[in-house]
Chain A
């Protein structure tokens, strides 16, 4: 009798712990989902602004001016070398080209981030609904992997183009930008795709469990 009571007590305690853990997990997933939602709207607004600025540099060339009080415009497309461009010593079309490329680069980057956030939002929606191992989630993780891999190829293209444009504007000899795929980001994309395959197996196990009574 005492042993049975002890077993019941242990089972009730385990049940309570399970409920507490589930509640913590629910709270965490809801918090992360809220943060991702906020980020999504911020990035969407920035992407729209970036697209408008890109169009603006072409349609209204003399309106946009990013130079500081000294009449210089600082840009570092590769985050290694910083170019200080004197807008007084450069033609307006040359400056507009550089502005265009800058905003195109920012737009492409923001669009890629936005695509990732769209997939992430949908994944988190399923997680909040206590269905983390839904088949769609594995597919969405794979999509994120592909987007990251695309970014590793596209973003260096824009950076290389921008730097080469600046080098041409400065008439620098024996200097050119070299295109190189961002291999670290490419590997991260591949890892995400690998994890999505593991997640897919998790989905299969979840289905097996759900269909077992």
Chain B
């Protein structure tokens, strides 16, 4: 997948730990860790909303798209 998660960068900028963010957002640290390492398939807008609200950032700060040549389309999955 070409979506890159920059959560660790934003957390470092805000000097916040993953556990603290997980508590404030209301999701488990396991799920947040999976998000950070790119192991999740999708993120709900409500979760993204809470993360951006807590970190005082925009979705673009956390999610980055990188063009990958020959990437299979969603329909092929």
Q: Which of B31-60 contact A (CB under 8 A)?
A: 31-32, 34-35, 39-44, 47
Is B11 engaged at the interface, CB distance under 8 Å to the other chain? no
Is A212 engaged at the interface, CB distance under 8 Å to the other chain? yes
Chain A residue nearest in CB terms to B25: A213
Chain A residue nearest in CB terms to B35: A213
What residues make up the interface of A, taking CB atoms closer than 8 Å to B? 208, 211-213
**Residues from chain A with Cβ under 8 Å of B35 in the complex:** 213
Number of chain B interface residues as a range: 10 to 19
- Pick the contact of A211: B32, B42, B47 (CB < 8 A): B42
* Pairs across A and B, CB under 8 Å, 7 listed: A211-B34, A211-B39, A211-B40, A211-B41, A213-B34, A213-B42, A213-B44
CB distance from B32 to the nearest CB of A (A): 7
**Residues from chain A with Cβ under 8 Å of B42 in the complex:** 208, 211-213
Known A211-B40, A211-B41; 19 more pairs at CB < 8 Å: A208-B41, A208-B42, A211-B34, A211-B39, A211-B42, A212-B40, A212-B41, A212-B42, A212-B43, A212-B44, A213-B27, A213-B31, A213-B32, A213-B34, A213-B35, A213-B40, A213-B42, A213-B44, A213-B47
Chain B residue nearest in CB terms to A208: B41
CB distance from A190 to the nearest CB of B (A): 29
Chain A residue nearest in CB terms to B42: A212
Tell me the complex Cα distance, A208–B27, Å. Answer: 17
CB distance from B43 to the nearest CB of A (A): 6
Chain B residue nearest in CB terms to A207: B41
**Residues from chain A with Cβ under 8 Å of B39 in the complex:** 211
**Residues from chain B with Cβ under 8 Å of A213 in the complex:** 27, 31-32, 34-35, 40, 42-44, 47
Chain A residue nearest in CB terms to B31: A213
Chain B residue nearest in CB terms to A210: B41
**Residues from chain A with Cβ under 8 Å of B43 in the complex:** 212-213
**Residues from chain B with Cβ under 8 Å of A208 in the complex:** 41-42
Tell me the complex Cα distance, A208–B41, Å. Answer: 7
Tell me the complex Cα distance, A11–B8, Å. Answer: 32
Interface centre among A208, A211, A213 (most CB of B within 10 A): A213
Chain B residue nearest in CB terms to A212: B42
Chain A residue nearest in CB terms to B43: A213
**Residues from chain A with Cβ under 8 Å of B32 in the complex:** 213
**Residues from chain B with Cβ under 8 Å of A211 in the complex:** 34, 39-42
**Residues from chain A with Cβ under 8 Å of B41 in the complex:** 208, 211-212
Tell me the complex Cα distance, A208–B35, Å. Answer: 14
**Residues from chain B with Cβ under 8 Å of A212 in the complex:** 40-44
